[in-house]
Every structure is written in structure tokens, then in C-alpha cells.
């Protein structure tokens, strides 16, 4: 299928950001490789405020979020698979019962939901901002204050150089340092010091990298810029250190947030403003920011452009896998052989196993990286591969996608890692098991590391019965592979799968 045909198939795209403070949705029409925004929806759900002392999302916050997603779902329910990307951020990363909530959220929305790591959130934010402001190749610092975390990215043009996510946000800091809306200079000082402490980890490398321009990309930063503009403390859309000090003084001049009367401050933003301003103040101080402009582009716009890249076969995940393989000096010829056979198996069982193009890409990535653990040790290399892939930063991958990739390489040989699959959402377990089986079989036929792939067995899978057809002559000529297949049949029988070799 050509790029133009794929664009026609996905003429309307949607991106949803399940933020810790607000849920955002953007719907756009794709025309000639560019977006025309059709609709924007935003609701301040304040999911982060619903985390209790045990680290769980309480029922009230879940109900509020699900009601919002049901409304969003009405708008996008008819969009085809692959046209919608939905990501959860800090709160869904840290809440202990996030999987329970996500099951209900997926049902309400009618589309899959990914949870992204902080660094991946930072990458997507930078992508959205760089397109919104049509960046040239100058170096820029981009900052986004969310409800539970703040992302910092340094980049040039469309490409990031440094990216970091720190555990401080407008909701979490407002709850911790300004409980019940009470404000004082002492509280503000404590909040700024706490944020400064978080920033110590990045201040030296970021100062050393430097930038020509700083850009803010969040509701908190836009709110601060609006207030500063309305008060006449700085030019339109710009935040300066002096203007920020004026804002801090204005906030601490009252004893309760309800007394704060500033033009440009909305009622819904007021409760989280003190914590957000404390984070912004500390960032200006520690990173020595002398001027910041504001962008309307953010995570949801970045999601749209990332989705467009996938549709046009310009997938960040492909670049990540290639770079990761080169970093660990994989045997590329062996990886190619495994991928070739795994793909051949995949196409034979795609329909019966209800697998799709995304599953095919996952299998190919796993085939490319299955031996990265050899860089640590040959003994138990599949476990080392699992560790590296589960714990490394993989740009473009959500947490679920990264876990699937890690599980596939863990399950490539020996005991099937059945217990590890419980960490996946239920709807992802069955296809991931099938992919693991396909990779295992591809590994069996390529264990001898031959110069070329010359065997193309017939394979069928119906539920838990795997039928592998090979000629008796071939099995007689390859007794070691035949023995390995018998061992594989034994391993699979332990998880109630039957491998029949005929």
C-alpha cells in the first residue's frame, strides 16, 4: 500500500493526552501530509488529586475520568484502528491500581491506551512544540509542567538532544506544599527549594549544553504568561525572571488561593497555580533561564505527528531498534535470518491467530534484538536481553510495547516465561504468546547460524494446537534441529500448547 493510500485510509486522526491534571483530545484531518485541526476538547479531570495515601486512584477520581472518556469516546468511536493514539502520563505511571483503571478506561473510550515513560513523554512534547513553532536548527530548551511531572528537553530543529522527566508537577506540589489552598511565603520557599533539589540532577549538563531560546508548553506556563501579560509585567507571551518574581509575590501576598484575584487566572487553574509557579521559579533559577516564550503545541500534537510518521513508514521505533542493535554489536546477519523465518511463519498464521501489522513489527523488532544480551554473557543471554530491553530508554515505545519486546526475547528459548505475561493487560497476552511461539520456532531453525535461510516449513496454529510440517528426508538430514524441535514440544506442553511435527 502506497503512502498516499495509507493517508486516505487514515484521513482523520485523533490524539488524546490523559494528563495528571487535564485530559486533552485533538482531532485533525490529514491532507497532503499536513494536519487541519477539526476539533479540540479539554477537561480538567485532576487525576493526580485522586491518589490516596496508599498510592491508589480513588473511586471518585476514576469515575470523573471515565465519564470524561465516555464523552471523548462518542467523538472518536467510529475512527478506524490505527487512527487514534491515547497515552497516559505520570499519574498512570505511578498509581498502584492503574491497570484496573485502564481496563475500564479502554472500554469507555473504545480504543487502546498506552502508558508512556517520562522520557518518552518528553520526546513527544518536543515533537509537538517543534512542529507548532516551525523550529529552525537553533538549539532550544522546551519545558512542560504537568500535573505530576515536569519534562525538560533540549533539541535542535525536529530532533531532541537531551530529555528528562522530573517528579514534580503543579498538582502534586500544590497538594504537598499548599494543602487546602493555604498560601504563605514560607510554603512557597519550601516548594521552590524542593523543586530546586529535583533539578540538581540536570542543571549542570543542561547549562553546559546551552540553548538560544527557551519555550514553555503547558497549561501552567501559559497561565503564568497570561497573568504576566495582563499585569503588564512583560511583553505579550513572554516570561522573564523579574515578571516571575512579581507573580510569586502576588501569590504569596494572600493567605488563601480563594483570595487571589489576578486578571488572566481562570477559576479552574487557580488551585494548582502555586505549585506550578514554584516549579517554574526553581527552573528559571537553577537553569538560568532569562526569557521564555510559550507554545500552544504540546504532547497531543506530538502524538499526531508521531502517528503520522508511523503511517508514512517513518517510525521512531524502527530507528530506536536499529540504534540499540548497533550499540550492542548484534550479529546482523543472524538477526536477518531469524526475522526472515519469523516473518514467514507470521504470514502463515496471521489470520488464524488474529494478528495484525503492529504484531508483525513487534516480532521483527524482537528478532532484530534477541541477542543483545550476548554483550553481557552467552550464559542465559536471553535473560540478559530481557533485562536490557525492559530497563533501557527506548524512544518511541510505550511501557506496554517495551514490555512486549522484552518478553518476546525472554521467551525465545528454554522455559516459557508464563508468569511474566501477567504484567501485560489481558487483551495483549494472547497475541504476545503467539508471537513468542513464532520467535521460538524461528530460533530453533536458526540455531546453527547457517549462511542462508534454506528451510521454509509449513505452519498452522489453531487455538493451542501448533502443526509444523517438514519432510522426513529433511528431518533425517538435520537430526540436531529435529531434537531441538522435540525439546520445544516439551517446553510448550508445559503451558498447554501442543506442537505436532509431521
Residue predicted with more confidence, 4 or 301: 301
Mean pLDDT throughout 261-271? 90
DSSP-derived pairing of the beta strands 213-216 and 292-294: parallel
Instruction: Please state, in angstroms and as integers, the Cα–Cα distance from residue 233 to each residue in 188, 190, 220, 228, 502, following that order.
Output: 20, 25, 17, 5, 80
Would you say residue 5 has pLDDT above 60? no
Would you say residue 463 has pLDDT above 90? no
For residues 59 and 25, give the distance between their C-alpha atoms in angstroms, rounded to a whole number.
23
Mean pLDDT throughout 196-203? 96
Q: Which helix (H) or strand (E) holds 458?
A: strand 458-462
Q: Is 143 helix (H, G, I), strand (E, B) or coil?
A: strand
CATH class of 134-294: alpha beta
Q: In CATH terms, are 134-294 and 315-457 the same topology?
A: no
pLDDT band at 95 (very low <50, low <70, confident <90, very high): very high
For residues 463 and 498, give the distance between their C-alpha atoms in angstroms, rounded to a whole number.
10
Question: Which tens digits make up the pLDDT trace of 140-186?
Answer: 999 999 999 999 999 999 899 999 999 999 999 999 999 999 999 99
Q: Which three cell numbers stand for residue 454?
A: 534454506
Predicted pLDDT of residue 454: 66
Mean pLDDT of the chain: 92
Least confident of 58-67, 265-274, 344-353, 397-406: 265-274
For residues 287 and 290, give the distance between their C-alpha atoms in angstroms, rounded to a whole number.
9
Q: Which three cell numbers stand for residue 47?
A: 487525576
Q: CATH for 3-117+302-308, among 3.30.70.20, 1.10.4000.10, 3.40.109.10, 3.30.420.40? A: 3.30.420.40
Q: Closest by alpha carbon to 145, among 52, 272, 44?
A: 272
Task: Tell me yes or no: is domain 315-457 CATH 1.10.3210.10.
Answer: yes
For residues 196 and 205, give the distance between their C-alpha atoms in angstroms, rounded to a whole number.
15
Q: Which helix (H) or strand (E) holds 310?
A: helix 299-311
Mean pLDDT throughout 249-272? 93
Confirm if 206 and 162 have CB atoms less than 8 A apart: yes
Q: Which three cell numbers stand for residue 285?
A: 533559577
How many residues can be counted in the chain? Answer: 502
For residues 366 and 406, give the distance between their C-alpha atoms in angstroms, rounded to a whole number.
8
Mean pLDDT throughout 60-64? 95
**How many H-runs (helices) and E-runs (strands) does the chain carry?**
20, 14
pLDDT band at 345 (very low <50, low <70, confident <90, very high): very high
Q: Kindly give, in sequence order, each residue whose CB lies less than 8 Å from that of residue 265, ignoring residues fewer than 6 positions away.
A: 223, 226, 227, 273
For residues 335 and 412, give the distance between their C-alpha atoms in angstroms, rounded to a whole number.
13
Question: Which tens digits make up the pLDDT trace of 348-370?
Answer: 999 999 999 999 999 999 999 99
Question: Phi first, then psi: what are they for 154, rounded to 5°?
Answer: -110, 130
DSSP-assigned letters across all residues of 171-233: HHHHHHHSGGGB--HHHHHHHHHHHHHHHHHHHHHHHHH--SEEEE-SHHHHHHHHHHHHHTS
For residues 334 and 338, give the distance between their C-alpha atoms in angstroms, rounded to a whole number.
6
Instruction: Please state, in angstroms and as integers, the Cα–Cα distance from residue 443 to each residue in 212, 385, 447, 488, following that order.
Output: 50, 15, 6, 11
For residues 487 and 485, give the distance between their C-alpha atoms in angstroms, rounded to a whole number.
5
Q: Where are the domains of the chain?
A: 3-117+302-308, 134-294, 315-457
Question: Which tens digits make up the pLDDT trace of 207-257?
Answer: 999 999 999 998 899 999 999 999 999 987 899 999 999 999 999 999 999
Q: What is the pTM of this model?
A: 0.89
* 3-state percent helix, strand, coil for the chain, nearest multiple of 5: 55, 15, 30
Confirm if 3 and 312 have CB atoms less than 8 A apart: yes
pLDDT band at 279 (very low <50, low <70, confident <90, very high): very high
For residues 35 and 301, give the distance between their C-alpha atoms in angstroms, rounded to a whole number.
10
Q: Which helix (H) or strand (E) holds 326?
A: helix 316-327
pLDDT band at 435 (very low <50, low <70, confident <90, very high): very high
Amino acid at each position: 500500500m502506497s503512502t498516499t493510500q495509507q493517508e486516505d485510509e487514515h484521513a482523520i486522526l485523533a490524539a488524546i493526552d490523559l494528563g495528571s491534571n487535564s485530559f486533552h483530545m485533538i482531532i485533525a484531518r490529514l491532507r497532503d501530509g499536513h494536519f487541519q485541526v477539526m476539533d479540540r476538547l479539554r477537561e480538567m479531570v485532576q487525576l493526580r488529586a485522586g491518589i490516596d495515601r496508599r498510592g491508589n486512584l480513588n473511586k471518585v477520581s476514576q469515575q470523573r475520568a471515565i465519564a470524561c472518556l465516555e464523552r471523548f469516546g462518542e467523538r472518536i468511536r467510529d475512527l478506524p484502528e490505527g487512527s487514534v493514539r491515547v497515552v497516559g502520563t505520570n499519574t498512570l505511571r505511578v498509581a498502584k491500581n492503574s491497570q484496573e483503571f485502564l481496563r475500564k478506561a479502554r472500554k469507555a473510550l473504545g480504543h487502546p491506551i498506552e502508558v508512556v515513560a517520562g522520557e518518552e513523554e518528553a520526546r513527544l512534547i518536543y515533537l509537538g512544540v517543534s512542529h507548532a513553532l516551525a523550529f529552525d536548527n537553533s538549539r532550544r530548551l522546551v519545558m512542560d509542567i504537568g500535573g505530576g511531572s515536569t519534562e525538560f528537553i533540549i533539541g535542535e530543529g525536529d530532533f531532541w538532544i537531551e530529555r528528562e522527566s522530573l517528579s514534580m508537577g503543579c498538582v502534586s506540589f500544590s497538594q504537598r506544599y499548599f494543602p487546602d489552598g493555604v498560601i504563605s511565603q514560607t510554603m512557597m520557599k519550601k516548594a521552590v527549594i524542593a523543586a530546586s533539589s529535583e533539578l540538581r540532577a540536570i542543571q549542570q549538563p543542561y547549562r553546559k549544553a546551552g540553548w538560544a531560546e527557551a519555550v514553555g508548553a503547558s497549561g501552567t506556563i501559559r497561565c503564568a504568561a497570561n497573568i504576566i501579560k495582563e499585569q503588564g509585567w512583560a511583553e505579550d507571551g513572554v516570561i522573564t525572571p523579574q515578571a516571575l518574581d512579581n507573580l510569586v509575590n502576588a501569590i504569596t501576598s494572600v493567605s488563601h488561593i480563594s483570595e487571589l484575584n489576578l486578571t488572566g487566572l481562570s477559576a479552574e487553574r487557580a488551585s494548582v497555580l502555586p505549585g506550578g509557579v514554584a516549579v517554574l521559579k526553581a527552573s528559571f533559577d537553577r537553569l538560568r533561564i532569562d526569557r521564555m516564550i510559550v507554545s500552544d503545541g504540546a504532547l497531543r500534537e506530538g502524538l499526531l505527528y508521531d502517528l503520522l510518521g508511523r503511517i508514512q513508514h517513518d517510525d521512531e521505533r524502527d530507528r530506536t531498534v536499529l540504534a540499540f542493535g548497533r550499540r550492542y554489536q548484534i550479529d546482523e546477519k543472524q538477526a536477518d535470518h531469524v526475522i526472515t523465518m519469523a516473518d514467514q511463519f507470521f504470514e502463515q498464521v496471521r489470520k488464524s491467530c488474529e494478528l495484525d501489522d503492529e504484531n508483525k513489527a513487534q516480532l521483527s523488532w524482537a528478532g532484530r534484538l534477541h541477542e543483545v544480551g550476548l554483550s553481557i554473557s552467552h550464559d542465559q543471554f536471553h535473560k540478559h536481553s530481557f533485562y536490557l530491553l525492559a530497563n533501557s530508554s527506548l524512544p518511541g515505545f510505550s511501557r506496554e510495547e517495551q514490555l512486549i519486546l522484552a518478553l518476546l526475547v525472554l521467551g525465545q528459548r528454554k522455559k516459557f516465561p508464563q508468569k511474566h505475561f501477567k504484567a501485560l493487560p489481558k487483551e495483549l497476552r494472547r497475541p504476545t504468546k503467539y508471537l513468542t511461539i513464532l520467535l521460538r520456532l524461528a530460533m530453533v531453525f536458526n540455531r546453527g547460524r547457517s549462511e542462508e535461510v534454506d528451510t521454509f516449513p509449513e505452519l498452522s496454529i489453531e487455538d493451542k494446537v501448533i502443526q509444523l510440517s517438514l519432510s522426513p528426508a529433511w528431518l533425517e538430514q538435520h537430526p540436531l534441529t529435529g531434537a531441538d524441535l522435540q525439546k520445544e514440544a516439551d517446553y510448550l506442553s508445559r503451558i498447554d500448547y501442543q506442537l505436532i511435527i509431521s
